[in-house]
Structure 1
Amino acid sequence: MFTQTDYSGTKIEKYTALTKQLDALLTGETNTVANLSNASALLNQFLERVNWVGFYLMEQGELVLGPFQGLPACVRIQVGKGVCGTAVSEKKTMLVKDVHAFPGHIACDAASRSEIVVPLIKDNEVIGVLDIDSPELSRFDEEDQTGLEQFADVLTKHL
């Protein structure tokens, strides 16, 4: 059963509590869509000042839209294109303080100003990405990156 967690302490402590809550929420469930849906809802409830939280999954060599919270989004993204595709091709988190300064940025929501994309890696292969947008410049920092990478690691174990 889902219970609201008290997110107090430092930013990293809050992310640690969030990640523990995610693990408890997904334990025993094997359905990918259900787990990604709950993960996006949990993040959307936890994070402030964001306008899109969701997943793209690798399918036949490209990213395809998965469960998300926010406005309708781009359905397919080629590997190496935009922030999400770059995170896949480089196999690393992309922390973008100003999306308009990112070469080749794909604007699904014109209100987005900053973005963080964390690759979901299983058996050394990128299976998708966690994508989070904000209408604020420089919304995400290195502590967000660390916390979201831990979140993604726990999530990937349940996929």
Structure 2
Amino acid sequence: MFENTLYTGTREENYQLLLKQLEGLVEDEPSRIANLANASALLQQFLQDINWVGFYLLEGEDELVLGPFQGKPACTRIAVGKGVCGTAVSRGEVMLVEDVHQFPGHIACDSASNSELVIPLRREGRIIGVLDIDSPSFARFDETDARFLTIFTEVLGKYL
């Protein structure tokens, strides 16, 4: 799963390296947009077998708006409670979807996506958006991905 030559350890070691790289990128940068852009680029470089990675940011209390991302053009606005991203916000929990075509109300921004991982992005305990990652493979993501990418969002959230 980790074919990138920068990451040659175990999955856990690779994720630890990713977290250190994130911290180095964002710790001295006050711009939220710059930090989100670098975070999405870092994930694009790190994760294999994905076709989209980026952020949707909460605007008001009922809508997510497209933020920095890597991949094809995406849906611009998603209502809270709709699709995988909106459901992650309304429930306040990680959404690990092995087959998006079986998810009621899935929003197909890219018909090539078959699985999805969405993690609420929080600052000071409050949801401010989501990290959204899509893959063309079914069941691409697992609990290890969810655990470490949740830590990724926690680290990032301190700098937003």
* TM-score, normalised via structure 1 length: 0.95
| Distance in 2 of aligned mates of 1:136 and 1:50 | 8
Letter in 1 for 2:52: W
Structure 1 partner of 2:115? 114
Structure 1 partner of 2:38? 38
Equivalent pair of 1:49/1:134 in contact (CA under 8 Å): yes
Equivalent pair of 2:124/2:158 in contact (CA under 8 Å): no
Between Structure 1 and Structure 2, how many residues are aligned? 156
1:28 aligns with 2:28: yes
Letter in 2 for 1:85: G
Letter in 2 for 1:118: I
Q: Which consecutive residues of structure 2, in runs of 5 or more, have no partner in the other structure?
A: none
Q: Secondary structure at the match of 2:55?
A: strand
Q: Which consecutive residues of structure 1, in runs of 5 or more, have no partner in the other structure?
A: none
Alignment RMSD (CA, Å):
1.3
Residues 109-118 or 122-131, more deviating: 122-131
- Displaced runs of 4 or more, over 2 A: none
Letter in 2 for 1:54: G
Structure 2 partner of 1:74? 75
Letter in 2 for 1:41: A
Q: Percent identity?
A: 63
| Distance in 1 of aligned mates of 2:140 and 2:5 | 23
Please list the CA deviations of residues 56-114 of structure 1 after superposition, one character each: whole Å capped at 9, or x if unmatched.
00012210000000000000000010000000011111000000000000000000000
Equivalent pair of 1:5/1:21 in contact (CA under 8 Å): no
Deviation, 1:5, is 8.7
* TM-score, normalised via structure 2 length: 0.94
Letter in 2 for 1:133: D
Letter in 1 for 2:110: D
1:147 aligns with 2:137: no
